Amino acid sequence: MHYEVVLPAAGSGKRMGAGQNKLFLTLLDKPILIHTLLVFEQDEACSGIWLAVKDTERDYIQSLIAKYNITKIKGLPTGGTERQHSVHSCLKEMKDVEIVLVHDAARPFITAPIIEKLADTAYEKGAAIAGVRAKDTMKIVREGIIKETVDRESLWMIQTPQAFRFNLLAEAEGAAEKVGFLGTDEAMLVERLGHEVYVVESSYDNVKITTQEDLIFGEAILKARAK
């Protein structure tokens, strides 16, 4: 199933503490942002890439896009103060798209088979997100004291991509905006409408590069894949 992808890239990377947008840090030979862009550049089912960027970083990002020969960029709208606003800045410029994927630019290790499954499920069911089963025992803790051990069977750690029929996501976004609802991901906006969101089992490799130690995990993943 063909799709267009929205990549929010307008964050500041505070938790990384690198003093710059973490997406510009390199993993082995390339910036994180380029690793992510190349996945979609090389996926034949991807027919367009939308990148939400900061105004002050647009020129630099455009120079990277040229340097690494990324050809599928359809727009680089200005991101907002929250991730959801950045995603919105892309969605409002998209036209005639049936399936849209939203994927954190900070998750460079996503692979085509998972993307394909998400796009197909979104086409069939409306909404699909990537997730992995929780590995650790999970407990609800309040004020340092365990209140409850949660049944791990039903616990999933949610990632991106999240894939939607475009009209469904647009409707969910509009409804959220009306009441000023801010979700941590796009699925939450669709859940609010009472629409079912299907989970596609993803990979533990699909980490979000967030803090310094993730750079070490990231390079290890790249080295293992190169073998």
Residues at the site binding ligand CTP, with contacts judged by CB under 6 A = 8-15, 22-23, 52, 79-83, 86, 104-106, 208, 210
Q: How far apart are CA 129 and CA 206, in angstroms?
A: 13
Q: C-alpha distances in angstroms, 206 versus 82, 87, 119, 148?
A: 22, 20, 17, 29
CB of 22 to Mg ion, least distance (A): 10
Partner whose footprint covers residue 218, from ligand CTP, Mg ion, none (CB < 5 to 8 Å by kind): none
**CA within 13 Å, CB half, 27:** 25
3-11, 17-25, 62-70, 156-164 -> range binding Mg ion (CB under 5 A): 3-11
Instruction: Give residue 223's identity as a one-letter amino acid code.
Output: K
Residue whose structure tokens are 């990979």:
203
4-12, 120-128, 129-137, 148-156 -> range binding Mg ion (CB under 5 A): 4-12
Q: Which is nearer to ligand CTP, 89 or 126 (CB)?
A: 89
Contact set for Mg ion, span 9-68 (CB under 5 A): 11
Partner whose footprint covers residue 208, from Mg ion, ligand CTP, none (CB < 5 to 8 Å by kind): ligand CTP
Phi-psi category of residue 72: left, alpha or beta, with phi > 0 → left and psi -120 to 50 → alpha? alpha
> What residue ranges bind Mg ion (CB under 5 A)?
11
